Structure 1
Amino acid sequence: MRFQTAFGFDMRFPRILSAAAQRKLKAHLQRGGLVAYPTESCYGLGCLPERPAALKRLIRLKKRPQYKGLIVIGDDTGRLLPLLETLPPERQAELAAIWPAPKTFLLRVRPSVSPLLRGKGRSKLAVRVPAHSGARRLCRMLDTPLVSTSCNRAGKRVCKTEREVRRQFGRQVWVVGGQIGKQKTPSQIIDGDTGLRLR
């Protein structure tokens, strides 16, 4: 993709994009484009979760094994529910009480969700409402959940600044600039059924 821009997102005081900028970014994503944006501990690399062509492009760009699943983020629990098997109201309330947080839960996914997203042969999807106001606002602004994998090629250092994103990926992704959070490590990954921490 020959597109690159930055919007000066700030984690603490994320700016609202102009209507024109929002339309351009939405169109870029609808065409299968990729976006890089700040999250809790590093830049995330994402796309629309229901676009197989975008998922394939992201996996190729990262040189990531296809059997691995991807994380999806949303601005609230409700944004993630269409991807998941029906959750009882009490479970939804539990998650709403935990999020936003750097905690990713593996929850049972709808069969219609692409194996590229959930991982080949897997019945759960990794989801999170991030503890980063800019990332949440981006989902709210775009009115969609977003894939959120670390912004780096396999074996390379994760990108923590806009400059590092541009150095690794050039014009292949649309960059939403801003500050990452203060989290030193990636989000925890917790099995939603057993409560077992996997990362």
Structure 2
Amino acid sequence: MLVQPQKWRVNLFARQLFEGAVIAYPTEGVWGLGCLPGLEEPVTRILRLKRRSWKKGLILVASRIEQILPYSDELTAEELAVLKIEWPGSVTYLLPRSKNVPDLIAGDSDRVAVRVSKHAVVKAICDELGGPMVSTSANPTGKIPAGSKLRLKQYFPSGIDAIFPGELGTLKGASEIRDLRTGEVIRAAAL
């Protein structure tokens, strides 16, 4: 059973994020690494920790659909309707990228990956931030995502400023990624 995160802890982590922290936190299926998307240093640090090329891009997670709209170019009424049906949930969508999205977030794509999460920890942090945060699975490139706090600490004995306590959701792995415009499944959900 997922427990609502304590308000004081959410406030503390939000403050750390505003100060440039890289945090680890539970998501729907795996541990995630996060920071504020507009701060270049922590985004670069996450890419270094994962040994990931900036060209691949990162995901933004939010607590409400309104938080991700500034990061996407105009969406049609039909596209917004799809998102409102799917979210909050565990599906990440590729949306047309707006000029507000740094290259370190979108990579070399004209799309940006976003998800409105239903996970209590992610929702609470993004509510406190008043916007989205970076989300990427907690694993070095080529390794399976951390499904436990022990694996998280084995992968990253240093480099993470704080770990938000909590439980993973019911997903058995990383979230599914779909292109909103084409419907193409880029990464299937773990079953």
TM (norm. structure 1) is 0.85
Deviation at 1:117, TM superposition (A): 0.3
Indicate the percent of aligned positions where both proteins have the same amino acid.
Answer: 33
Tell me the SS of whatever aligns to 1:149.
strand
Q: Does 1:96 align with 2:84?
A: yes
The residue that corresponds to 2:174 in the other structure is 186
Report Cα offsets for 1:142-184 as digits up to 9, x if no partner.
Answer: 3221111100112333222223323322342210011111211
* Counterparts of 1:85 and 1:148, CA distance in 2: 20
Gaps of 5+ in 2: none
* Counterparts of 2:131 and 2:102, CA distance in 1: 16
The residue that corresponds to 1:39 in the other structure is 27
TM (norm. structure 2) is 0.88
Q: Does 1:147 align with 2:147?
A: no
Higher alpha-carbon deviation: 181-190 or 56-65: 181-190
Q: What's the Cα RMSD here?
A: 1.8
Q: Does 1:129 align with 2:129?
A: no
* Counterparts of 2:166 and 2:87, CA distance in 1: 22
Amino acid at match of 1:127: V
Kept in 2: contact 1:162–1:178 (CA 8 A):
no
The residue that corresponds to 1:175 in the other structure is 163
Aligned partner (choices 49, 53, 77) of residue 37 of structure 2: 49
Tell me the SS of whatever aligns to 2:104.
helix
**For the structure 1 residues 104 and 23, does the alpha-carbon distance in structure 2 shift closer, same or farther, using more than 3 Å as the test?**
closer
**For the structure 1 residues 82 and 157, does the alpha-carbon distance in structure 2 shift closer, same or farther, using more than 3 Å as the test?**
same
